With several copies, the nearest count.
Chain A
């Protein structure tokens, strides 16, 4: 079955991203296709490569990056939400006059239409948030 996942909260403050990650992993293990993981609201903050969590704790961002690399996951960060919160890739940095970018491997920035498309194309959409 084709599934999409929406994540509305950033790393560490809320369990949402952890729950979404565990769910996504379990869905892949069960043989389902993940059409897309869409990061909205503070969820965009899951896509920064600048995090350095304590050594004895999980690395929320790397978890996503590595799962994406292993299973070719489409991790999409909403551009409008990202602009408000300071998550930028190279293109966004250039467009908005920023001197660098902080996006983590495996993530890409795109529009809200990608969320609607995920709703249309997927058999199920599951939302994780506050």
Chain B
């Protein structure tokens, strides 16, 4: 496929209460094989997906969130978290998993994948996409 499109995955739901977060991750991983320009946005309750140290034993469901740590290996490293969503929920970036990727162009230096951005920065970024998948 010659054309490269900008794909945005918008994650707005909390994990476990509904399956959207997990099935969104499944699309993202499959989509990574298509060599498109992929961006992830976590807004509203979607920011709860990235919170550390889930322990799902008591609810009998699988903890799928370690998979976020593998996104860097799939060259998915543009991950935006909305500042206003974090703040409304009493969270800071330190509450979230530390997601990294290795930059081939800089001798595989480890870099942060998550950027915290304001609503208006995120709105601008959303406005530049070709395909928006919402979960």
Contact = CB atoms under 8 A, between A and B. Distances in A.
A contacting B, Cβ–Cβ less than 8 Å: yes
A40 B23 contact: yes
A119 B19 contact: no
Given A119-B7, A120-B36, A15 B18 contact: yes
B59 interface: yes
SS class, residues of chain B in contact with chain A: mixed
B34 A81 contact: no
A105 B59 CA distance: 23
A15 to B, nearest CB: 5
B5 A12 contact: no
A13 B18 contact: yes
Contacts of B5: 119-120
B34 A120 contact: yes
Nearest to A84: B19
Contacts, number: 72
Contact of A12 (B19, B59, B131): B19
Interface string A101-120: 00000000001110111011
Interface in B34-77: 34, 36, 59-62
Nearest to B31: A116
B123 interface: no
Contacts of B61: 15, 18, 57-58
A120 to B, nearest CB: 6
Contacts of A71: none
A80 interface: yes
Given A18-B59, A41-B23, A119 B133 contact: yes
Contacts of A120: 1, 3, 5, 34, 36, 131
A99 interface: no
5 contacts: A6-B133, A15-B17, A57-B61, A63-B60, A112-B30
Interface of B: 1, 3, 5, 7, 16-20, 23, 26-27, 30-31, 33-34, 36, 59-62, 130-134
Given A15-B16, A117-B34, 17 more contacts: A6-B133, A13-B19, A14-B17, A21-B60, A22-B60, A41-B20, A58-B60, A81-B23, A112-B27, A112-B31, A115-B133, A119-B36, A119-B133, A120-B3, A120-B131, A125-B133, A127-B132
